[in-house]
Structure 1
Amino acid sequence: MKRGLKLAATGLALCCGIALPAASESLYQEGSFRPLTADNKAFRVGDSLTIQVFENSSASSSANTGTRRANDISGSVTQTGNRVVGQLGIGIAGEFDGGGRTQRTNKLLATLTVTVKEVLPNQELRVAGEQQLMVNEELQKVNLEGRVRPQDISDGNVVLSTRLADARITYVGEGEVSDRARRSLWRRVLDIWGF
């Protein structure tokens, strides 16, 4: 019965030319508007950005130490009368030569796509993302986060990892090969004791 009344009221309004209020919405949305001539670069929260990771690091240090020590004490007593002859001599000598060298080189090449998590007040983009690869039943994870200046983003929406501020790049492998590469517990304990 109520449905019939609504249909009759709508039909009456159409016949009499009475305009019903229409809901309208603007086509322009400030948060998602991008001009037709703009580059396709990340600029807002949720946008994707490709990071090319080219990280090389190397460090080396060496130390050499040489120590020589020689001490000598000597004494002598001679008497010809009742024949007192005494002689004393102490000699101490020591040498130490020591040296050590450490060297480490790391290289990481990867390309991963991250997401803009926040647009900072100075218009820099805080980005973060993770990539997981399974290679020969070994799980490899690359985690990346940092800040990007909009002017460092190329026309192809790509930025080099060397242009990231406060970059944190983590590469972790999990599996049998990674477990075999770690030192055993007993070896670590002996290293702590200096053996």
Structure 2
Amino acid sequence: MRALILLLLSTSLFACQRLGEVGKAPDFTPVETGNEFFAMTSTPMPEQLPGQAGTVDASLWSGTRGSLLGDRRAAQRGDILTVVIEIDEKAEISNSTGRSRTGADSMGIPSMLGIPQRLDRHLPEGASMADAYATNSSSSYQGNGSVARKEKMTLRVAATILDRLPNGVLRIQGSQEVRVNFEVRELIVTGYVRPEDVSRQNEITYDKIAGARISYGGRGQITDVQQPRIGQQVADVLLPF
């Protein structure tokens, strides 16, 4: 009874929260609470090149990031680069399995020193040792399976360098939210990249991201309608049939 009361209370609180969202567009996730904002606003470690301590080289040809020929690709914590996601995959798998087996066995003793005839007198009517036993067996199995999958996605998102590992690898994270009417589409990209894989256009493709985690989904009225009700989800977990 106590568990039932707790379940009813939690369901009521969840329903009240949902009722407060009726007629409102989904809120954006605050940017200030994300890892990207923290990486861009935190103070980086000071960097000094040999022979340049306490001086500033304002030459256009110095090779620094601010010069005319400087490398402006993202390489430090807080820098921003563009992740290009172009997925166009197609896979088809088909399997077929078949098995069949048939067996038959029989044995009888028509004559053996007159013993079968003597035993026949004590057997039920119609039984005879001449046909002691006969068996037949057969089995068959047929299985078919197929998988067809096709995925196509083209997206671009700005990602921020969260950290530079001791081996030089960059840990990145990017997020993007687009609200159309009462539906918010969310795109999240995380992973690890090598600085040398970042192009001169400050872009990197998704297939060069190690441990890539790409999430593309949404929240809002359309997504809410597509999800089963909370009661149905609980029943699907608890019911054993």
TM-score by length of 2: 0.54
Cα distance in 2 for partners of 1:106, 1:53 equals: 12
Q: Give the C-alpha shift of residue 144 in structure 1.
A: 0.7
2:193 maps to 1:156: no
Bigger strand fraction: 1
Checking the alignment, whether the CA contact within 8 Å between 1:57 and 1:106 is kept in structure 2 is yes
Residues 65, 182 of structure 1: alpha-carbon distance in 2 compared, 3 angstrom cutoff:
farther
Checking the alignment, whether the CA contact within 8 Å between 1:53 and 1:160 is kept in structure 2 is yes
Cα distance in 2 for partners of 1:91, 1:162 equals: 59
Q: Which residue of 1 aligns with 2:72?
A: 40
Q: 1:35-184 alignment to 2 at 5 Å?
A: 35-36=66-67, 37-75=69-107, 86=128, 87=131, 88-135=133-180, 137-178=182-223
Checking the alignment, whether the CA contact within 8 Å between 1:55 and 1:162 is kept in structure 2 is no
Tell me the C-alpha RMSD between the 2 structures: 3.5
Residues 181, 90 of structure 1: alpha-carbon distance in 2 compared, 3 angstrom cutoff:
farther
Cα distance in 2 for partners of 1:182, 1:70 equals: 50
What secondary structure is seen at the aligned counterpart in 1 of 2:196?
helix
Tell which deviates more after alignment, 48-57 or 98-107: 98-107
* Cα distance per residue 1:85-126 (max 9 Å; x no partner): 744533222211112122333332210001111122233321
Larger radius of gyration: 1
Bigger helix fraction: 2
Cα distance in 2 for partners of 1:131, 1:181 equals: 22
Residues 152, 172 of structure 1: alpha-carbon distance in 2 compared, 3 angstrom cutoff:
same
What amino acid maps onto 2:76 in structure 1?
R
Residues 97, 188 of structure 1: alpha-carbon distance in 2 compared, 3 angstrom cutoff:
farther
| Aligned length in residues | 162
Q: Which residue of 2 aligns with 1:7?
A: none
Q: How many percent of aligned residue pairs carry the same amino acid?
A: 28
Residues 39, 89 of structure 1: alpha-carbon distance in 2 compared, 3 angstrom cutoff:
same
Tell which deviates more after alignment, 124-133 or 61-70: 61-70
Q: Give the C-alpha shift of residue 34 in structure 1.
A: 2.8
* Cα distance per residue 1:49-90 (max 9 Å; x no partner): 1111113444444432212121212345669x9998744533
In structure 1, the gaps of 5 or more residues are 1-25
